[in-house]
Amino acid sequence: MKFMNRTSPHYCHRSVLSLLISALIYAPPVMAAFTTNVIGVVNDETVDGNQRVDERGTTNNTHIINHGQQSVYGGVSNGSLIESGGYQDVGRNNNYMGQSNNTTINGGRQTIHDGGISTGTIIDSGNQDVYTGGISNGTTIKGGNSHISGGTANGTIIDGGGQTVTTQGHVDGTTINKSGYQDITQGSMATNTIINGGRQYVEQSTVGTTTIKNGGEQRVYESHALDTTIEGGTQSLNNKSTAKNTQIYSGGTQIVDYTSSSDVIEVYSGGVLDVSGGTATNVTQHDGAILKTNTNGTTVSGTNSEGAFSIHNHVADNVLLENGGHLDINAYGSANKTIIKDKGTMSVLTNAKADATRIDNGGVMDVTGNATNAIINGGTQNINNHGIATGTNINSGTQNIKSGGKADTTNISTGSRQVVEKDGTATGSNISAGGSLIVYTGGIAHGVNQETGSALVANTGAGTDIEGYNKLSHFTITRRGG
């Protein structure tokens, strides 16, 4: 048998060949080279270092990975994908504007400087920064954030994640869908916004031509809101904010806090204007519109279906409440000629007074203060503890005198009733034919005038005390013991 010597040339050739094969098998993959300075057109490159694209260059479908940076200064980048750790910087070079088109950000970052324009960017995750002089058009935010710092963004769609606009930035034509948010701060401006179930926060800035719908929310602080349409959501004015030209439709609400004001407001059926201590002027309250307010420093003025109305200096005149509307007459305040319709409510609180209130079918008036000359046309008046009602005319409906409440000189007409509960007191009640006075155990009714055809329903339990006149004579029903 013949053995090969290690020093023979054949053995050396075989050893070198084995080493080459092993190197090919076990060598780590080498990243393909990319063009560092793009002149002309380059396609489908992966960038893991620095790539510069000036006005002479265009890149298509670049993949920017960790540690990769593409600087588009005056050139054009189309269809780039920016992964986590990757970065694209877009700006001008001399008089040439940099352009980034249809970029997808997947964990990386895109920055648009002065003279840079991005169009059609999709942010799946990661960030986009647009600085003064930079422009972002048609960005879709699915996650992550777009930060407009003095720059401009047009036609942004926020599906998830958010957009923050600061330092006198300007955004136009934004749609904020559910789970999306937009913050407008530091002297910035947002125009032509649709808040479609999402949220917009505005601080020390201006927003104009906004539509709020599908449960969307706009919170305004120390800011101005112009030309707002609220179709199904909420606008709240806080901290000395102002609003002008607001339209509120069914499902929409405008809330004006005690420091803020709103001028020129159209409230349609099902829409809500909620003013607590603030100011709302030139209000047009259409049939079915909802007004929620009080007399505690509140100023409201406008017209409703009954004519002009106002709330000023703790006095409410001709206010209309319906469909969920509510008015609180606070201590030492007063209300005149309030109209309470179906599902409307009014509360006359301690040391407050209301005169000539009309309570229509489905309306409710709660009295803890003083109520005079009310007319009940199918509604309900509740006289609560310490409350006093004088001169009420019940044409139809009910007056309930609760424990500690008092009613004097009540006229009870056909189809209506006065109910006196335990420890409630009625004096001088006049029951016309077809009317009813109902006195529960422990109730008090003195000076009753019971006309022919009227009904007196009394419980003779302990504490009941009734006296008055009917067609026959003076009568009494009294039980003092247990």
Model confidence at 481, pLDDT cuts 50, 70, 90, reads: low
Mean pLDDT of 199-215: 99
416-438 pLDDT, tens digit each: 999 999 999 999 999 999 999 99
Q: Is the pLDDT of residue 23 over 60?
A: no
DSSP assignment of 168-227 equals S-EEES-EEETTEEEEEESS-EEEEEEEEBSEEEEESSEEEEEEEETTEEEEEES-EEEE
344-394 pLDDT, tens digit each: 999 999 999 999 999 999 999 999 999 999 999 999 999 999 999 999 999
CA 355 to chain centre: 35
115-132 pLDDT, tens digit each: 999 999 999 999 999 999
Averaged pLDDT of the chain:
94
267-279 pLDDT, tens digit each: 999 999 999 999 9
What is the Cα–Cα distance from 269 to 249, expressed in whole angstroms? 7
Q: Is the pLDDT of residue 70 over 50?
A: yes
Q: Is the pLDDT of residue 190 over 60?
A: yes
Q: Is the pLDDT of residue 36 over 50?
A: yes
Q: Which residue has the tokens 């920016």?
A: 82
Q: Is the pLDDT of residue 8 over 60?
A: no
pLDDT of residue 338: 99
Q: Is the pLDDT of residue 14 over 70?
A: no
Mean pLDDT of 391-419: 99
Model confidence at 31, pLDDT cuts 50, 70, 90, reads: low
Quickly count: other Cβ atoms within 10 Å of residue 203's Cβ.
19
Q: Is the pLDDT of residue 1 over 60?
A: no
Q: Is the pLDDT of residue 2 over 80?
A: no
What is the Cα–Cα distance from 75 to 302, expressed in whole angstroms? 58
38-50 pLDDT, tens digit each: 999 999 999 999 9
Q: Is the pLDDT of residue 458 over 70?
A: yes
Q: Which two tokens stand for residue 341?
A: 């319709």
pLDDT of residue 479: 80
Least confident piece of the model among 2-16, 233-247, 356-370:
2-16
pLDDT of residue 24: 40
Q: Is the pLDDT of residue 280 over 60?
A: yes
Model confidence at 480, pLDDT cuts 50, 70, 90, reads: low
DSSP letter (8 states) at residue 428: S
Identify whether the C-beta of residue 349 lies closer than 8 Å to the C-beta of residue 327: no
Quickly count: other Cβ atoms within 10 Å of residue 44's Cβ.
12
471 vs 213, which has greater pLDDT?
213
Beta pairing class for 152-154 and 170-172: parallel
Identify whether the C-beta of residue 369 lies closer than 8 Å to the C-beta of residue 384: no
DSSP assignment of 242-254 equals EEEEEEE-TT-EE
Quickly count: other Cβ atoms within 10 Å of residue 271's Cβ.
27
With a pLDDT cut of 70, the percent of the chain lying above it is: 93
Mean pLDDT of 67-84: 98
